[in-house]
A = this chain, B = another copy of it.
Amino acid sequence: QMPRGNLETIHHRALVLAQLRKWLDSQKFREAFECMRKLRINLNLIYDHSPKVFLESVETFLRQLDSINHINLFLTELKEEDTTTTMYPCSVNTTGQSAPVACGKKVDIVCDALRCTMESMDQHKYCLSILTSHVKKTVPELEIALQKVHELRVNPPSAANAVSAEEALKYLLFLVNVNELYEHSLGTYDFDLVLMVAEKSQKDPKEYLPFLNMLKTLEPNYQRYTIDKHLKRYRKALHHLSKCGEEHFNETLNLVKDQRLYSEALGLYPTDSPQYKALSCAYAEYLVEQQQAEQAGLLLWRCGEATRALQAFVGSASWRNALCVAEQIPLPSDQLALLARDLAEKLIELRRYTEAAILLERYAKDCEEAISALITGAVWEEALRLVYLYNRQDIIETNLKPALLEACSSQTSYLEVQRAMFTRHKTRLAVVRELKEKARLELLDEDVPDCPEAELYSEASSVMTGSHAGSKYSHSNSRISSRSSKNRRKAERKKLSLKEGSPLEDMALLHALAEIIHSVDKMREEVHSLLKALVLFQFDGQAGRLQQAYGEALQMIEVALPEVWQEGLQQTQAPITGPNSTANSIMASFQQPRPSATQDSETPPPPKMRNGVKWKLSILK
């Protein structure tokens, strides 16, 4: 039946594979297995050929092989890869077998299926294969395997075909590194098992016996903790140590700090215990170091460490929490006022004027400072509210009105600067785009007739990037391929320069324009509230001019947007065609980097104007 001669040639292998598939389809596993072993064909194919069929006929497979060695051979050869696609692709597409049978890893599926069947058939006979199926799993189940060996030792089976503990262990040591097995035996906390492994290993008893003896003297939880720590299983170690009583708490705390197991540790103690408090404090210290002072404050506060919590909240400008804690302590009123001033100062630095004003008004009882903070922050209405609440209308003349006029003129001149810059960038962008388009067309005219192949063409264009006059304005093609790499993209963005003639000047201009648009659009709320305040104090003239200036700025942007974004992106999107265009010339025109193609990586999206935010006063002309 087998073809003779050199079976390693590809042609013969195809015949072999065809025969194998037939055998596997008809569940003649023994024939298939033996043939494969002889011809060194990867045994994974037995499963890969048809996972569903295999899983449904595991028992048949085991019965046909009828050899522990063969089963072990099959198990040890298992790999995640699908040999029907990698090593032995099948030219005839067999229907619907490509879908994976079950989710999960193939090796684990096969190991579990075989073990399950073997255990139900004859767990003594298949003992070694069962051990193999544990060891070969993606995450080897060494403890379970060891446990089974130990079971054999404690209760030697009476069955004739049973394997002795001795034999089983020897086999395990053949499969797994001895030190690894020793460590895992320790992990079972079963000293009999440890000793058994240790004896079988080449280890020196002087080395492990003292350690094992020492362990035996320890209290069970502490013993397990010691073993876990030895095996660097810190989470388990923490759990066992936490059960060892108060006298070991210092050790626990150190372990928690060393291994940063704060969250786990907090879960092991009742929230009203001193240990919980101690752990919270330690965690808080760590969090403060990590610039997470607010969360530290929360931990400290909830475990009753008010003073330290206050410190943490102050450090993180978490002023509301700080005040709550201060009231709870309770802080004497003069100290509370000082605290409030302190926090207000921080908030003003952070430009959080409204919050600073609450502190100054309510807790420092200083309405003047509060109003001053609000005026600085241009929070006009709130400033006015406090003015009337404290009957301090004098401040309107002395501070509020001058600040309003100052704000009005500074906003107006800011707008002027932004408008001038916008116009300059926009004009320059048009120039750059025209130059680039010209360069692109020139490039096409020159190169296409000589290079009929698009690939040749793109080479030519990248060669030209260095010195050709026009190429200054065309991206090098290598840019496109970099789209996937985020880091590289960031580096590219840094290269954006507004300097005239810089290679990505158009992108830099677009970014600059987007920034101007964003900052002008952002002013809506501020301008609106300023206009209202100006009108209230009869500064209609100034308000009218500001309203006009802002309206014109927005209008200018609105008009320019389609030109700067849409039109510019479409203009080079149309393929270059004409009576003389060929398939290649059209393709070549697409080989050229188009703004639309690189949009995702560089071109900022057209900024959105928040036209829904109404800012204009109808009472101003």
Contacts and interface: CB of A to CB of B under 8 A. Distances in A.
Interface of A: 262-264, 266-267, 271, 283, 287, 290, 292, 294-295, 298-299, 301-302, 320-321, 323-324, 327-328, 362, 381-382, 384-385, 387-389, 391, 532, 535-538, 540, 566, 569-570, 573-575, 577, 581-583, 586-587, 590, 596-597, 600, 605-606, 617-621
A323 B385 contact: yes
A532 B388 contact: no
B600 A566 contact: yes
A327 B575 contact: no
Given A298-B536, A575-B590, A586-B586, A283 B619 contact: yes
A581 B385 CA distance: 74
Q: Is the interface of A mostly helix, strand, loop or mixed?
A: helix
A512 to B, nearest CB: 19
22 contacts: A262-B619, A263-B621, A264-B621, A267-B540, A283-B619, A287-B618, A290-B618, A292-B618, A295-B535, A298-B536, A302-B536, A324-B384, A324-B388, A327-B391, A328-B388, A566-B600, A570-B597, A570-B600, A575-B586, A577-B587, A583-B586, A586-B587
A453 to B, nearest CB: 12
A196 B320 CA distance: 83
Given A328-B388, A388-B323, A538-B271, A618 B295 contact: yes
A321 B618 contact: no
A575 B600 contact: no
Contact of A327 (B388, B569, B573, B617): B388
A362 to B, nearest CB: 8
A276 B596 CA distance: 58
Given A263-B620, A324-B384, 10 more contacts: A301-B536, A302-B538, A320-B382, A320-B385, A566-B600, A570-B597, A574-B590, A583-B583, A586-B587, A605-B606
A240 B618 CA distance: 25
B384 A320 contact: yes
A540 B616 CA distance: 48
A343 B612 CA distance: 25
Given A302-B538, A536-B298, A287 B619 contact: yes
A610 to B, nearest CB: 14
Contacts of A575: 575, 586-587, 590
A538 B272 CA distance: 11
Nearest to A618: B292
A322 B295 CA distance: 39
Contacts of A536: 298, 301-302
Contacts of A384: 320-321, 324
Contacts of A266: 540
A587 B538 CA distance: 64
A381 B297 CA distance: 13
A597 B619 contact: no
Contacts of A271: 538
A619 B263 contact: yes
A535 B573 contact: no
Contacts of A573: 596-597
Contacts of A618: 287, 290, 292, 295
A327 B389 contact: yes
Nearest to A290: B618
A454 to B, nearest CB: 9
Nearest to A581: B583
Nearest to A533: B298
Nearest to A264: B621
Nearest to A383: B320
Nearest to A532: B298
A401 to B, nearest CB: 13
B263 A323 contact: no
A47 B389 CA distance: 71
A19 to B, nearest CB: 35
Nearest to A389: B327
Contacts of A535: 295, 298-299, 302
A537 B302 contact: yes
A171 to B, nearest CB: 40
Nearest to A328: B388
Contacts of A391: 327
Contacts of A302: 535-538
Nearest to A601: B566
A428 B387 CA distance: 59
Of listed A536, A577, A619, residue having the most chain B CB within 10 A: A619
Nearest to A362: B389
A549 to B, nearest CB: 18
Given A283-B619, A573-B597, A586-B587, A381 B321 contact: yes
A569 B599 CA distance: 11
